Amino acid sequence: MRAKAARLEDQVFRLTARTFELERRLAGDVAPDEPLPQPAVEAAAVEAAAPEAAVSTPELEIPAPPEPPAAPPIDWEALIGGNILNKIGVLVLVIGVALFLAYGVTQLGPGGRVAVGLAVGVSLLAAGVAMERMERYVFWARGLIGGGWAIVYFTTYALHALPAAKIVDDPVMGAALLFLAAAGFVLHSLHYRSEVVTGLAYLAAFLALVFAPRTALSLQASVPLAVSLVWIAGRFEWRWLAAGGLVFTYATFAGAQPPHATWPVLWIYWLLFEAYDLRTPRSPLMPLNAAGFLGASMLLWKPDQPGFDWYLTAAALAQVASALLRWWLRGREETPEQIAEGGFLLPALLGLGLLQYAAAVRFEGPAEALALFFVAELAVLAGAFAGLRILQWIATAALLPSLYVLFDNMSRPEQFSYFGLTLRVWTPVAILLAAAMFLNRAVAGWQGFTYLGTVLLMAPIGHELSSKREPLGWMTLAAVLLQRGYAERWRDFRWAALGCGAFASLVLMDSASWRMTLAGASIAAAAAAQLAYCGARFSAAGAGTGAVVLAAFALARALPPIWVAPAWAALLFASTAVAVRVERRFAAFGGFLFALAVVGRAISENFPDTRAETLVRWETVLLTVILLYAAQVLLGRGLPVFTALGTLLLTSLIVDESSGRVLTMALAAEAVGLLIAGFLLRERPLRLSGLALFLFCVLKVFLYDLRELDTMSRILSFVVLGLLLVGASWIYTRFREQIQRYL
């Protein structure tokens, strides 16, 4: 009994010690282990327990700590409404104040305009500093701070450089004041250590110089701004600030015109950002700097200007020297793929662009298309064989100019005869380009080459055959593609065959009556229902698409032209209601194509004044838009294609009916209506359409109102739109919790 008691006491002691050690570890106690007092065991008991087998104790497992919860997804709508709209609104307001200082009302003298500009800038600064103390409005207030400093900087620039606001004649005093203003807003922005605030201040300052009247001082004022920006970006490792500053700098140069824009200033820009790029590992500025430098060079030099070829050669050699220097500095520490992307890739792309430019200057007609295609094709094959997908994709985009030139020359009537066969001069080029597209599909593996090759083959078939035979030729091409697609299990070939055959069917149906077309649609719909009942969902979707196409043609022949678009929209709504139960993906893709046709029909038939009265035009277009929005509700989540097209159609009608003076306000009212409807119906696509329309209004005031409207309308557009954008951003920020219930 004593031996058993001794063994049990020893086991209890060991378990107690292990439990104590585990509790210390879980509690984070790092104190050194202290020996526990050993129990006294009688010698006789130990001797008696010696021959007994040792009792093993189970190991205790420490449970793993729970994984941290996943970060919530980014709400892009709240980001745009509460943050981005604020920044854009501040920028638009800055431009409006700049225009006021440059072209303001005649009732105010230079001193009054400067006083107004300083008052607006200081007010924005004060409001931003005051609102920043509230945690809810931190980011919103920083936008006001950046805009306020930008207005102060431009006003300081205007009081010496702009005749309408000039109150300082001494150039030294003007430069000193400009330097003090720049130093003030830079130091204030650095106080926050925020890349966004600093970048917004620089952006507004550069934009003020861009939209100001062109003077030599505007270009000179951009140099210290660029130098300080590059220094700050390197000091705090703000790469996005450096990239944005590069765009600001070259935009300022592009806004200046000769003789103010001189090539030494352009080379200073390039060397400045290239030096930053070489000092910063993995910096993205090399392609941006090259693009900005070459683009500004094209504005500075004319192709027929003496010395242009030498300037272009010097620019190419400078880019190559930069690439070699990068390889020497970084090449030994990078993988071969990184060396290719950071070393020879940009010079290769520059060479590609220069060669295509030379081909466009040297050749014309189909020969130009062939030369452009040959240069890009070499880059595509090089990227495919070298395994550089980025080079392959960019070279694929470089094929598009050759296709544009080829299709632009298809209207030429010139022909040639070869062995008794008369063809158009561009037909062999189209066939050669189509063969190269199918070769690229085999080598590079991108299925988009199949569709491009199919279109290139359809073009000569349609032009070389008579109008009665061309559908048969397209049907033959579709049969060949379909056979190869099923034989090799290439889905892209089957899709290309489907598109080619559908287009041929549309041409064949052109001569049929609407009753026969409607009967064909009924047969196709019955076949689609039978296929869906049997479980062949994809085939049923294809048959249903054929039924919709036939029904659309029947409606086009049976109804008055102005009512075809609403009828097609109703057909789209009905087909979407059925298709979402059969094949949702096919419903989204096919519905998008059909919606494009609806919008195109409405624009072509319902907009011209000679086709219908204004009231009927509004009725038909609004009915079409409502049906497009309703179809989007049926489609549910996914890309809001129907909503986007409906908004596009409604916007086009407003543009067609409104004049230039009120167009921006009308579009802004439409954006507000879409936002309100989106919140009331809890439909996010409507709200996103409203935000997109707001951004379109911003582009319009820059691209159209700035040049076309009179002075006061221009100023009013900028100021009112800026205030509306800031107000919308404030609503998103103020009612953030309530809006979250709608997202």
Q: State residue 723's pLDDT score.
A: 77
Q: State residue 259's pLDDT score.
A: 53
Listed residues 280, 300, 320: the one ending a domain: 300
What is the distance between the alpha carbons of residues 211 and 228, in angstroms, rounded to a whole number?
21
**Which DSSP letter does residue 423 get?**
E
Q: Is the pLDDT of residue 623 over 80?
A: yes
The 10 Å Cβ neighbour count of residue 310 is 9
Beta strands, E only, 128-286: none
Band (577; pLDDT cuts 50, 70, 90): confident
Averaged pLDDT, 28-53:
48
Q: State residue 44's pLDDT score.
A: 46
Give pLDDT tens digits for 199-252.
766 766 676 666 555 566 667 767 777 888 888 888 787 877 887 788 878 877
> Residue 270's domain spans which residues?
215-300
Q: State residue 418's pLDDT score.
A: 67
DSSP strand pairing (421-424 vs 415-418): antiparallel
In a domain, 652, yes or no: no
pTM for the full predicted model: 0.42
Give pLDDT tens digits for 459-486.
888 777 765 566 667 767 776 776 677 5
Q: Is the pLDDT of residue 358 over 80?
A: no
Token duo for residue 684:
């996010």
Token duo for residue 486:
């099923």
What is the distance between the alpha carbons of residues 228 and 237, in angstroms, rounded to a whole number?
14
Higher pLDDT, 190 or 76: 190
Structurally, how many domains does the chain consist of? 2
In a domain, 277, yes or no: yes
Burial 565-578 (b: 16+ CB within 10 A, else e): bbbbbbbbbebbeb
What is the distance between the alpha carbons of residues 618 and 654, in angstroms, rounded to a whole number?
10
Averaged pLDDT, 700-719:
73
In a domain, 40, yes or no: yes
- The structure tokens 């054929």 sit at 546
Burial of 595 (0-12, 13-18, 19+ CB in 10 A): buried
In a domain, 632, yes or no: no
Band (153; pLDDT cuts 50, 70, 90): confident
DSSP string computed for 135-180: GGGHHHHHHHHHHHHHHHHHHHHHHHH-GGG-----HHHHHHHHHH
The CA distances from residue 323 to 277, 316, 375, 716, in Å, are 11, 11, 21, 48
Q: State residue 727's pLDDT score.
A: 74
Please check whether residue 597 is in contact with residue 572, taking contact to mean a CB–CB distance below 8 angstroms: no
Lowest-confidence segment of 139-143, 175-179, 340-344, 703-707 by average pLDDT: 340-344
Q: State residue 178's pLDDT score.
A: 73
What is the distance between the alpha carbons of residues 707 and 89, in angstroms, rounded to a whole number?
20
Q: State residue 332's pLDDT score.
A: 40
Q: Is the pLDDT of residue 169 over 70?
A: yes
Averaged pLDDT, 136-156:
80
* Among 248, 132, 116, CA closest to 188: 132
Q: State residue 257's pLDDT score.
A: 57
> Which residues neighbour 72 within 8 Å (Cβ) at sequence distance 6 or greater?
none
What is the distance between the alpha carbons of residues 240 and 247, in angstroms, rounded to a whole number?
11
Band (362; pLDDT cuts 50, 70, 90): low
Cis status, amide bond into 259, omega within 30 of 0: yes
Band (49; pLDDT cuts 50, 70, 90): very low
What is the distance between the alpha carbons of residues 387 and 338, in angstroms, rounded to a whole number?
12
Averaged pLDDT, 661-675:
76
* Average confidence score pLDDT of the chain: 71
Q: Give whichever of 17-26, 154-163, 181-190, 674-683 has the largest mean pLDDT.
A: 154-163
Q: State residue 237's pLDDT score.
A: 77
Name the phi and psi angles at 310, rounded to 5: -70, -40
Is 422 in a helix, a strand, or coil?
Answer: strand
Listed residues 245, 279, 300: the one ending a domain: 300
Token duo for residue 610:
């000679």
Q: State residue 631's pLDDT score.
A: 84
Q: Is the pLDDT of residue 610 over 60?
A: no
Please check whether residue 621 is in contact with residue 649, taking contact to mean a CB–CB distance below 8 angstroms: yes
Helices 195-210 and 239-255 cross at an angle (nearest 10°) of 0
Q: Give whichever of 121-135, 140-154, 266-280, 680-694 has the largest mean pLDDT.
A: 121-135
Q: State residue 45's pLDDT score.
A: 46
Q: Give whichever of 406-410, 536-540, 727-731 has the largest mean pLDDT.
A: 406-410
Q: State residue 172's pLDDT score.
A: 67
Please check whether residue 315 is in contact with residue 294, taking contact to mean a CB–CB distance below 8 angstroms: yes
Q: Is the pLDDT of residue 401 over 80?
A: yes
What is the distance between the alpha carbons of residues 428 and 426, in angstroms, rounded to a whole number?
6
Q: Is the pLDDT of residue 54 over 70?
A: no
Lowest-confidence segment of 1-5, 264-268, 593-597, 603-607 by average pLDDT: 1-5
In a domain, 364, yes or no: no
What is the distance between the alpha carbons of residues 484 and 502, in angstroms, rounded to a whole number?
18
- The structure tokens 């057909």 sit at 571
> Which residues neighbour 371 within 8 Å (Cβ) at sequence distance 6 or greater?
359, 362, 363
In a domain, 261, yes or no: yes
Q: Is the pLDDT of residue 649 over 50?
A: yes
Is 218 in a helix, a strand, or coil?
Answer: helix
Averaged pLDDT, 418-429:
75
**% of the chain residues with pLDDT over 70:** 62
Q: State residue 526's pLDDT score.
A: 46
* Among 275, 280, 218, CA closest to 249: 218
Q: State residue 728's pLDDT score.
A: 72
Please check whether residue 465 is in contact with residue 483, taking contact to mean a CB–CB distance below 8 angstroms: no
Band (43; pLDDT cuts 50, 70, 90): very low
Please check whether residue 654 is in contact with residue 667, taking contact to mean a CB–CB distance below 8 angstroms: yes
In a domain, 16, yes or no: yes
Please check whether residue 471 is in contact with residue 501, taking contact to mean a CB–CB distance below 8 angstroms: no
Alpha-carbon Rg for the chain in angstroms: 35
Give pLDDT tens digits for 262-316.
777 788 888 888 888 777 765 556 667 777 777 777 777 776 666 665 666 567 6
Q: State residue 81's pLDDT score.
A: 63
Listed residues 300, 327, 343: the one ending a domain: 300
Lowest-confidence segment of 276-285, 516-525, 680-689 by average pLDDT: 516-525
Residue 421, beta-bridge partner list:
418
**% of the chain residues with pLDDT over 90:** 0
What is the distance between the alpha carbons of residues 82 and 743, in angstroms, rounded to a whole number?
14
What is the distance between the alpha carbons of residues 5 and 10, in angstroms, rounded to a whole number?
9
In a domain, 432, yes or no: no
Averaged pLDDT, 107-118:
81
% helix, strand, coil for the chain, step of 5: 80, 0, 20
